[in-house]
Amino acid sequence: MNILTAHGVDLAYDSFGEDGDETILLIAGLGTQMIRWTTPFCRALSARGYRVVRFDNRDAGRSTHFADRPTPDFAALAATLMAGGRPDVPYHLEDMAADAVGLLDALSIDRAHLVGRSMGGMIAQVVASARPERTLSLTSIMSSTGDPALPPAAPEVMAMMTRPAPDPFEDEAGFLEHSLAFARRIAGSGFPFDPEAHRALVLEELRRGYDRGGFGRQLAAIAVAGDRRAKLAAVAAPTLVIHGADDPLILPACGEDTAASIPGAEFMLVPGMGHDLPPALYSAVIDAVDRTARRAA
């Protein structure tokens, strides 16, 4: 793992493959770290002839944490949004997109294939629409456009996601059980859920850098992001949208809307896939990402 600074933000990253190959930039989701793009996935992707770069978003892992900024009050934030106002939040998705571009700058990478999952898909969409000259292709996985008319997750799923977790430094077992319960709930029906693999992943994230407030600050950036459809209509890079048919957190209609908003986008609905990326799907997803990247050539 390496750390570099981009416009005042320290970003932790690592890289697979040869520096001279075309770059695929992997962008992580809400409250998670770059290691959710597992090493086997990254190695298999780089074996297709790419330099694969993964990194910790701000407020996650070993990148800069904005602990000096308060976690937003979500009731007040929602009330402001309902009244048509723009709440004051620690940062926006545009800032996180600027981090991604700043990382490319620091690595002297002119253009990259952008691959983002969940919140990372939203960040990738922002980069692709705002910085087309930096974008070779776009793959948006289990993500959405921000269209307020799209169906939301079930209240029970949202409650599980936003319910405060036990402090892992005081109750590690309780924290792990909380994380496992949510991960199991959002997993798809088509692939076995591996609790031991998830437990090991969460423990590694705890060792790398846990920040209770980071999740809330990232969630606030999503909440105020607004509708991206008009901007996505200008995306010209080859685009793939992957979504799980069983996703209970960001429903399949959100993936359909993303693909419909980007001219020429391919929509790949995966039976049995939830809001996760199980190892059994690595090959299919890598094939699709590679196919989309080669369209850029």
Instruction: Delimit the domains of the chain by residue range.
Output: 2-155+213-295
pLDDT at 295: 94
Nearest Cα residue to 125 out of 93, 157, 167: 93
Instruction: Determine the length of the chain.
Output: 297
3-state secondary structure of 199: helix
Higher model confidence: residue 72 or residue 276?
A: 276
So what's the pLDDT on residue 73?
73
CB–CB of 141/165 below 8 Å?
no
Quick check: 84 pLDDT over 90? no
The pLDDT of residue 71 is: 78
The per-residue pLDDT for 60 is 97
**For residue 83, pLDDT beyond 80:** no
Mean pLDDT of the chain: 94
Residue 52 CB neighbour total at 10 angstroms:
24
When pLDDT is cut at 50, 70 and 90, the band that residue 16 belongs to is very high
As a whole number, mean pLDDT of residues 9-13 equals 97
Is it the case that residue 52 has pLDDT exceeding 80?
A: yes
**The two three-digit tokens of residue 144, written as one number:** 């959405």
Point out the least confidently predicted range of 114-128, 131-145, 203-217, 252-266. Answer: 203-217
Q: What count of other Cβ atoms lies within 10 Å of the Cβ of residue 18? A: 10
The tens digit of pLDDT for each residue in 88-111 reads: 889 999 999 999 999 999 999 999
Residue 280's nearest CA partner among 248, 244, 249 is 244
pTM: 0.96
The yes-or-no verdict on residue 81 having pLDDT over 70 is: no
Range 2-155+213-295 has CATH code 3.40.50.1820: yes
The number of C-alpha atoms within 13 Å of 34 and in the hemisphere containing its C-beta is 25
What is the mean pLDDT of the segment spanning 40-58?
Answer: 98
> 77 pLDDT exceeds 70?
no
Q: What is the largest CA-CA distance in the chain?
A: 52
Res 164: pLDDT: 87
Mean pLDDT is lowest, of 49-63, 64-78, 256-270, for 64-78
Q: Which residue has the tokens 């990738």?
A: 124
